[in-house]
Chains A and B, each alone.
Chain A
Amino acid sequence: MFGYLVRRVLSALLVIVCVVFVVSAISKLVPGDIVDMMEAGNPGMTEQDKAILREQLGVNKPVFETFTSYLGGIFRGDLGNSTRLRSSAAVLIAERVPATLELALTALFLALIVALPLGILCALKQGTAIDYFGTIVSTFGVAVPNFLIGIILILVFSVELQWLPSTGYKGSVVVAAWEALKAWDGSVLWDRMRYILMPAVSLAFFAIALNTRLIRSTMLEVIRQDYLQFARAKGVPERTVYLKHALRNALIPTVTIVGLQLGTLLGGTFIIENVFAWPGIGRLAVQSIFWRDYPLIQASILVAACVFVLINLAVDLIYRLIDPRIRYVRH
């Protein structure tokens, strides 16, 4: 077990370093640097001024050199400073983590509360209209990219119906829920919920689709098992057979998938946050790419990659706890 853990952590570190390097190298391929961005709309800065500024900001170094010096900084516990926002990248990211987590967790929550009943229903009513509906929804969810769903939602609910705000952020829903509870006034909560609904739904759509299919198929598999027939023969009511005996076993693969999904959802926030102007890490990372703010690109990608890898690692380890049949064997 310990050896496995060490190997996993080492390979995770390698993955993180590679991801950060590749992303920063690719972002350097786009023409223009941060000084060109600063000059845009500010005539008066001559080529000479720009050269001096590049020197002062240290942006004219080659990719590899920037990267190695950055890596050195990380080992000293320094994530660097944003060249554009002129503050500590660590602080900037920390400020935006709650918004991203809130969005991803809300999406995960949505994915579960929709997929669980839908998947179970589809399995129990296999071959009926409900099953076909579930299949259509899942196919749609897997096939359509989340940003497109986001744009369609904006067109329908903001532009046409004008029910929900198309973009923006008013603060944490969790905090609002607490305030609403204290003041016993739902309007505060609704005011914030309005903003998170569409981003969370578009982010959750893929997970809903996947989970529905997964729960449906595992349920179908479990339903046919002998022990369920035995339970029925014993006279256990159908409800209890499905919800207690069948669902529990059907949930094992789902739980592990859901863990992995949190990683995917965090990745999805990079796109969704930009569609909905949600002030999280994803938006910060994309803005920093737009600004050519290399230290901030590196820091935000580094943090995102770490979170993703850590979640995957945690899922692998938890796997064993959920299902004792799984063993870590040295090949």
Chain B
Amino acid sequence: MNEFDRLTDPATMPGLSFEEQTYEVSRRLAAFDRRRFLGGSAALIAASAGISFPALAQRKGGNLRIGRSSDPDTLDPQKTTSFTSHETFTQIFDGMVMRDEKGNVLPHLALSWEFQDDNKRVVFKLRPGVVFHDGTPCNAAAVAFTVKRHLDPATASPTKFICGPLQRAEVIDETTVAYVYSAPFVTLWVGLGGAYQAILSPTAVEKLGANFGRNPVGSGPFKFEKWQPDSGIKLVRNDKHMFINKRFKNDKPAHLDSIEYVVIPEDAPRLAALQSNEIQVIAGFNAVPLDKLAQVKRMRNVKVLTRTALSCYGIAFNTKLAPTSNLKVRQALSMAIDKNKVLQLALGGNGELAYSVLGPAFPQVLPNAKDIAPKYDPARAKALLAEAGAANLKLRLSSNDDSANRRACEVIQAELKAVGVEVAIEAVPGAEAAVIQRKGEHPLYMVNYRYTDGDVLHILLHKSGSLNRGAYTDPRTDDLLDKQRLEFDPKKRDAMLNEVQKIAIEQCWWLPLYADTTAVAIRDNVEDFENAWDARIYYKDVWLKA
């Protein structure tokens, strides 16, 4: 149990209501910060008196070089949707809260919160004494400024949708701020737990204007130092970052002196650079190629960390177009494909089979999905097709041209051929595929997504959902998906999400295939590196063994 667990353990607060507990936690954390600050000074005095702390001293210092495949577009958290940018400014900025893999919300800049006005108003108590890298205070006014800028049409933020029905943030006092929503918004934590809604230094934003994205100023564990386009970004330690959070073991400033992101676009040289210790980490979106994972695992002095991504790959059946409008045809096609074969050939087996639209790593996945989903049975598939009167089918399959997706499509094509269905694959680059798929002219769509909450079902299956490729318009499903957005009781909400998944399986809207693996490769002298559940990496805990 670390210090954070000890301070926030509900068992130490008997008889307190949930609301009272959050205030107690906030009081304890603030007291801890003060105490630790004094303790830190004591350690300094002790150090200057010649008393050494070898265990701690060993973890200090060093420059960590991280290889990845692409460069961020901008480091202004409100002006990008790029994963690479998000990874980078996660180190520079602090968000209001963080989330753990069970969906629990953890205090970060906000120490506690309270829902008011039928859950349309959330009052946050902020951590006192936090300063931005430019020395200005990270207080309620900064939070209100950040929210105002995110919602401002002049910012034209592509991530504004993450804020939901947020109207404004009101400053109550120096460390109290209220987020005001026009309707209750259960999934507010998805955004607030990520860095797109992180708190920006108002002084820096006003001073730098459009250049803020090239010189970002936040309060995070690392400060921005320099950025050379297409070659590298350097961040240095923020000595004032003394937060404690369940996601950090380290409640003092980061151990590393600096981190450098190096862009190496091609896979082979990136792996060679890791082998030669030119870089110590390969992390980030698609940075460790799954088709070369076996090779990376064989490298000397290199460790590979893997876990199932919060994702799902599958085929969405178009329910508004013959013949996939027929349930029997959808069932037959689902039974004709051996998912495991697709996973083996598309990703070299680096993934986990999926049985529900929600990928297997989501906490809200339907527990008995595997039992009720159609099983691989080509003979039964043929019989069903005959029953449906659908002989000699010729189907078009639309996909993006990502190499793994393309391979998956080819396996599916072969599998369906075995039951007498001809498939024509139409693979085009991502954005074009999205435009084509929205037209709804194909019976089969290869779809994949990444998300950090079960609310993704709204996006995939609700009639207004942006990834509702199969044109599903089931009133019961829409109703459940709308209601789960207003349900603050996690158990009740999970039940609704489960029911939606059950309907999707029964109706065979999707053929879920698999979730891919997120992989990180590190040199074996890199310590305390976590390949986290949401694929976010925090370098605060990481240190280099001498």
Residues of A whose CB lies within 8 Å of any CB of B are 30-33, 35-47, 49-50, 52-53, 56-57, 81, 84-88, 92, 95-96, 158-159, 162, 165-171, 277, 279, 283, 290, 292
Contacts and interface: CB of A to CB of B under 8 A. Distances in A.
B451 interface: yes
B83 A37 contact: no
Interface of B: 73-74, 76, 79-81, 83, 153-154, 156, 158-162, 210-211, 213-214, 228-231, 263-266, 268-269, 272, 429-432, 434-436, 449-451, 456, 459-460, 464-467
A43 B431 contact: no
A32 B439 CA distance: 12
Contacts of A166: 266, 268-269
A104 to B, nearest CB: 17
26 contacts: A31-B431, A31-B436, A32-B431, A32-B432, A36-B431, A39-B81, A40-B430, A43-B450, A44-B451, A47-B466, A53-B156, A56-B153, A81-B210, A86-B210, A86-B213, A88-B210, A92-B229, A162-B272, A167-B265, A167-B269, A168-B231, A168-B263, A168-B264, A168-B269, A171-B231, A277-B266
B269 A38 contact: no
Contact of A44 (B76, B80, B459): B459
Nearest to A291: B73
A52 B229 CA distance: 30
A30 B429 CA distance: 11
A96 B449 contact: no
Given A36-B431, A279-B231, A44 B466 contact: yes
B268 A158 contact: yes
B229 A46 contact: no
Contacts of A290: 429
A159 B229 CA distance: 26
Contacts of A44: 161-162, 451, 456, 459, 466
A241 to B, nearest CB: 50
A40 B467 CA distance: 10
Contacts of A42: 81, 158-159
Given A84-B73, A95-B229, A279-B230, A167 B266 contact: yes
Contacts of B432: 30-32
Contact of A53 (B158, B264, B449, B451): B158
Given A86-B79, A87-B213, A43 B269 contact: no
* Binding site secondary structure of chain A: loop
A91 B197 CA distance: 27
A90 to B, nearest CB: 12
B153 A31 contact: no
A143 B148 CA distance: 59
Contacts of A40: 430-431, 434
A32 B263 contact: no
A35 B263 CA distance: 25
A86 B231 contact: no
A144 to B, nearest CB: 22
B73 A85 contact: yes
A38 B162 contact: no
Given A36-B435, A45-B466, A96-B229, A57 B459 contact: no
Contacts of A81: 210
6 tightest A-B CB contacts, nearest first: A279-B230, A32-B431, A56-B156, A277-B265, A36-B431, A49-B161
B435 A32 contact: yes
Contact of B158 (A35, A46, A92, A279): A35
A46 B464 contact: yes
Contacts of A283: 230
Contact of B459 (A43, A56, A165): A43
Contacts of A50: 466
Nearest to A159: B268
A293 B272 CA distance: 33
B80 to A, nearest CB: 8
A84 B467 CA distance: 23
B537 to A, nearest CB: 18
Contacts of B431: 31-33, 36-37, 40, 292
Contacts of B211: 87
Contacts of A86: 73-74, 76, 79-80, 210, 213
Given A44-B162, A87-B74, A38 B81 contact: yes
Contact of B269 (A47, A165, A171, A292): A165
Contact of A87 (B210, B435, B450): B210
A289 B263 CA distance: 21
A38 B158 contact: yes
A37 B449 CA distance: 14
A278 to B, nearest CB: 8
Contacts of A39: 81, 434, 466
Contacts of A46: 161, 464-466
Contacts of A88: 210
Contact of A277 (B230, B456, B467): B230
Nearest to B213: A86
A32 B161 contact: no
A297 B17 CA distance: 58
